[in-house]
């Protein structure tokens, strides 16, 4: 069992907040809901300030004729940059974020003059894209790649998730984290998110549906090659691990403990001060040290 799962997280919160047995805060649904809220509201914004492209991933969609607006990925916190790639993944050009005096032209579908491959600007949940070479004909296979900061999954219990023990062809064999976990008669058909089993527990693939299930396996006709032994299947949108660098997990514990201790202003203040100390230390710990151009091993989650 990997460290830093939600069982360990709950134990740490109960310990730091001195939550007595029988308290409503001992309800996993309540305490994990509070921990998720604190992670999203207090910790993730601080993480995004740190160099290192944390929570960065990308998604591609085909460029279509006479189409200006492309929806941002559903799990995007914010888009970072757009590029155009060919079908082999080779980058053909970068799209430049339109300056304020160019926005009206881009929204109208007119490409401003310049040497850029193309321009884009955000519009609600879409990117408005214009290219210098708008369309190359019926055989055009160019793809729009959007790099974005991805939202973290909400927290759930390990008992709701399964570990991959084997992958053979289209069959994935799964097991529970603990032998005492209560299992259903059959695995759900999905959707499932598959996550990597070590910190920061980045997603491998989203929204996997099974074409057939048993009590210990599922069949997936279009098996993603990225799914490996040891990966974890979690209900879509959830994870049994906080999807942040482990240096920040203590801040989630401290902020959640402060919420539990809200009725005691002095204890709450101490917990929040502890959280800020953890944040400060974590930022120094994970910030790249090299003077060279930033290089990030975990640049894209998917």
The model's pLDDT over 72-83, given as tens digits with 9 standing for 90+, comes to 999 999 899 999
Q: Which long-range contacts (CB under 8 A, 24 or more apart) does 209-212 make?
A: 211/170
Contact 231, 195 (CB under 8 A): yes
Taking a C-beta distance cutoff of 8 angstroms, is the pair 153, 201 a contact? no
Please state, rounded to an integer, the average pLDDT across all residues of the chain.
Answer: 86
CB 69, CB 128: distance < 8 Å: yes
What is the pLDDT, as a whole number, of residue 293? 53
Peptide bond into 97 cis (omega under 30): no
> How do the domains of the chain map onto residue ranges?
56-150
Residue 190 φ then ψ, to 5°: 120, -170
Average pLDDT over residues 72-97: 91
What's the CA gap between 254 and 12, in Å, rounded?
9
52-66 average pLDDT score? 89
Would the pTM of this model clear 0.85, i.e. be above it? no
Q: Please report which confidence band the pLDDT of residue 298 belongs to, taking 50, 70 and 90 as the band edges.
A: low
Mean pLDDT of 137-150: 83
Q: What average pLDDT does this structure show over 43-58? A: 89
The string of pLDDT tens digits covering residues 225-275 is: 889 999 999 999 999 999 998 888 999 999 999 999 888 888 888 888 888
């Amino acid at each position: 069992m990997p460290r830093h799962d939600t069982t360990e997280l709950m134990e740490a919160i109960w310990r730091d907040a001195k939550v007595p047995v029988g308290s409503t805060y001992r309800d996993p649904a309540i305490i994990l809901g509070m921990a998720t809220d604190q992670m999203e509201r207090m910790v993730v914004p601080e993480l995004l300030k740190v160099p290192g492209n944390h929570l960065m991933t990308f998604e591609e969609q085909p460029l279509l004729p006479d189409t200006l607006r492309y929806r941002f990925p559903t799990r995007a916190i914010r888009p970072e940059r757009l590029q155009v790639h060919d079908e082999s993944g080779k980058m053909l050009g970068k799209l430049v974020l339109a300056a304020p005096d160019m926005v009206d032209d881009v929204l109208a579908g007119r490409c401003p003059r310049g040497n850029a491959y193309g321009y884009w600007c955000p519009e609600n949940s879409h990117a408005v894209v214009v290219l210098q070479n708008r369309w190359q004909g019926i055989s055009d296979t160019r793809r729009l790649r959007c790099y974005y900061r991805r939202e973290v999954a909400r927290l759930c219990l390990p008992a709701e998730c399964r570990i991959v023990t084997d992958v053979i062809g289209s069959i994935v064999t799964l097991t529970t984290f603990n032998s005492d976990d209560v299992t259903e008669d059959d695995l759900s058909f999905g959707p499932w998110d598959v996550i990597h089993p070590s910190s920061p527990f980045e997603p491998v693939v989203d929204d996997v549906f099974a074409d057939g299930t048993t009590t210990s396996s599922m069949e997936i006709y279009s098996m993603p090659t990225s799914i490996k032994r040891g990966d974890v299947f979690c209900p879509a949108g959830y994870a049994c691990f906080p999807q942040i660098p482990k240096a920040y997990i203590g801040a989630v514990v401290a902020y959640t403990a402060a919420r539990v201790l809200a009725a005691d202003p002095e204890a709450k203040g101490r917990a929040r001060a502890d959280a800020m100390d953890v944040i400060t230390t974590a930022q120094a710990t994970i910030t790249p040290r090299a003077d060279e151009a930033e290089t990030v091993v975990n640049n894209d989650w998917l």
